[in-house]
Structure 1
Amino acid sequence: MRDPVVVATGQTYDRESISLWIESGHNTCPKTGQTLVHNSLIPNRALKNLIAMWCREQRILFETTEGSKRTNRVIKNKAAVEANKMTVSFLVNKMSASRSMEEVDGVIYELRALAKTSSDSRACIAEAGAIPVLARFLGPDIGSEFPDLQVNAVTAMLNLSILEANKTRIMENGRAFNGVIEVLRSGATWEAKGNAAATIFSLSGVHSYRKRLGRKTRVVKGLMDLAKSGPTSSKRDALVAILNLAGDREAAGRLIKEGVVDMINEVINEMPEEAATMLEMVVKRGGIVAVAAAYNAIKKLGLLMREGSEIARESAAATLVTICRKGGADMVAELASIMGIERIIWELLGSGTMRARRKASILLRILRRWAAGLEDDFFYGLSTAATASSASSTTMVLPA
Structure 2
Amino acid sequence: MPMYQASTGGQVLDLETAVKDGILGGGGGGGGGVICCTTLEKVDLKKMIEQLDSIEVPSVFICPISLEPMQDPVTLCTGQTYERSNILKWFSLGHFTCPTTMQELWDDSLTPNSTLNHLIHTWFSHKYLAMKKRSEDVQGRCLELLETLKKVKGQTRVQTLKQLRMVVAAHESAKKTVVDNGGVGFISSLLGPFTSHSVGSEAIGILVNLQLTSDSITNLLQPMKVSLMVDVLNEGSTETKINCVRLMQVLFTGSNIVPSLSLLVGVLRLVKDKRHPHGILEGLRLLKVISSQESLGNSIVSIGGVPQLVEMLPHFNSECLELALYVLQLLSSIPDGALALKDCSNTIPNLVKLLMKISECCTQYALSILWEVCKLSPEESAATAVNAGLAAKLLLVIQSGCNPGLKQRSAELLKLCSLNYTSTIFISKCKLTRTLQ
**Bucket of the pairwise TM-score, normalised by the shorter protein:** 0.5 to 0.7
Is residue 269 from structure 1 mapped to residue 328 from structure 2 by the alignment? no
Go from structure 1 to structure 2 and tell me whether the alpha carbon gap of 1:162 and 1:276 turns closer, same or farther (over 3 Å shift).
farther
Q: Does the CA contact (< 8 Å) of 1:198 and 1:237 recur in 2?
A: yes
Task: State the Cα distance separating 1:268 from its structure 2 match.
Answer: 0.4
Q: 2:150 aligns with which of 70, 88, 96?
A: 96
Partner residue of 1:180? 229
Distance 1:177 1:3 in 2: 46
Is residue 395 from structure 1 mapped to residue 436 from structure 2 by the alignment? yes
Aligned length: 314
Greater Rg by CA: 2
More displaced 10-residue stretch of structure 1: 359-368 or 197-206? 359-368
Partner residue of 2:118? 59
Partner residue of 2:271? 227
Q: Does the CA contact (< 8 Å) of 1:288 and 1:327 recur in 2?
A: no
Go from structure 1 to structure 2 and tell me whether the alpha carbon gap of 1:150 and 1:110 turns closer, same or farther (over 3 Å shift).
farther
Q: TM-score, normalised by structure 2?
A: 0.60
Task: State the Cα distance separating 1:150 from its structure 2 match.
Answer: 6.0
- The secondary structure found in structure 1 opposite 2:411 is helix
Is residue 363 from structure 1 mapped to residue 410 from structure 2 by the alignment? yes
1:118-153 per-residue CA deviation (whole Å, 9 max, x = no partner) reads 67854644455222136699633x2xxxxxx76543
Partner residue of 2:341? 294
Q: 1:129 aligns with which of 179, 186, 195?
A: 186
Q: Does the CA contact (< 8 Å) of 1:137 and 1:153 recur in 2?
A: no
Partner residue of 1:110? 167
Letter in 1 for 2:261: T
Q: TM-score, normalised by structure 1?
A: 0.65
Aligned-residue RMSD, C-alpha: 4.2
Go from structure 1 to structure 2 and tell me whether the alpha carbon gap of 1:106 and 1:120 turns closer, same or farther (over 3 Å shift).
closer
Task: State the Cα distance separating 1:190 from its structure 2 match.
Answer: 1.0
Go from structure 1 to structure 2 and tell me whether the alpha carbon gap of 1:153 and 1:243 turns closer, same or farther (over 3 Å shift).
same
Distance 2:53 2:291 in 1: 33
Letter in 2 for 1:252: G
- The secondary structure found in structure 2 opposite 1:206 is coil
Distance 1:168 1:116 in 2: 25
Q: Does the CA contact (< 8 Å) of 2:72 and 2:117 recur in 1?
A: no
Partner residue of 1:199? 247
Instruction: Work out which structure has the larger RCO, using CA pairs closer than 8 Å and 6 or more positions apart in sequence.
Output: 1
Is residue 318 from structure 1 mapped to residue 368 from structure 2 by the alignment? yes
1:40-66 per-residue CA deviation (whole Å, 9 max, x = no partner) reads xxxxx934474543795241576xxxx
Go from structure 1 to structure 2 and tell me whether the alpha carbon gap of 1:105 and 1:118 turns closer, same or farther (over 3 Å shift).
closer
Task: State the Cα distance separating 1:255 from its structure 2 match.
Answer: 0.5
- The secondary structure found in structure 2 opposite 1:207 is coil
Task: State the Cα distance separating 1:302 from its structure 2 match.
Answer: 0.6
Distance 1:275 1:362 in 2: 21
1:310-339 per-residue CA deviation (whole Å, 9 max, x = no partner) reads 432232223223333455443344323322
Distance 1:330 1:93 in 2: 67
Distance 1:3 1:353 in 2: 47
Q: Which runs of 5+ in 2 are unaligned?
A: 1-43, 55-64, 74-81, 83-112, 122-131, 422-433
Go from structure 1 to structure 2 and tell me whether the alpha carbon gap of 1:358 and 1:124 turns closer, same or farther (over 3 Å shift).
farther
Q: 1:155 aligns with which of 205, 209, 213?
A: 205
Distance 2:272 2:308 in 1: 6
Go from structure 1 to structure 2 and tell me whether the alpha carbon gap of 1:131 and 1:86 turns closer, same or farther (over 3 Å shift).
farther
Q: Does the CA contact (< 8 Å) of 1:167 and 1:203 recur in 2?
A: yes
Distance 2:372 2:212 in 1: 34
Letter in 2 for 1:255: I
Go from structure 1 to structure 2 and tell me whether the alpha carbon gap of 1:116 and 1:310 turns closer, same or farther (over 3 Å shift).
farther
Q: Does the CA contact (< 8 Å) of 2:184 and 2:207 recur in 1?
A: no
Q: Does the CA contact (< 8 Å) of 1:109 and 1:152 recur in 2?
A: no
Q: Does the CA contact (< 8 Å) of 1:151 and 1:191 recur in 2?
A: no
Q: Does the CA contact (< 8 Å) of 1:115 and 1:156 recur in 2?
A: no
Letter in 1 for 2:151: A
More displaced 10-residue stretch of structure 1: 321-330 or 297-306? 321-330
Letter in 2 for 1:253: N
Distance 1:245 1:86 in 2: 39
Q: Which runs of 5+ in 1 are unaligned?
A: 5-13, 20-44, 63-76, 143-148, 375-392
1:172-200 per-residue CA deviation (whole Å, 9 max, x = no partner) reads 3x55322221111111x111112112222
Distance 2:196 2:137 in 1: 32
- The secondary structure found in structure 1 opposite 2:292 is coil
Q: Does the CA contact (< 8 Å) of 2:201 and 2:232 recur in 1?
A: no
1:245-266 per-residue CA deviation (whole Å, 9 max, x = no partner) reads 1111000110000111111112
Q: 1:348 aligns with which of 379, 397, 418?
A: 397
Give the % identical residues. 14
Distance 1:369 1:323 in 2: 11
Structure richer in helix, relative to its length: 1
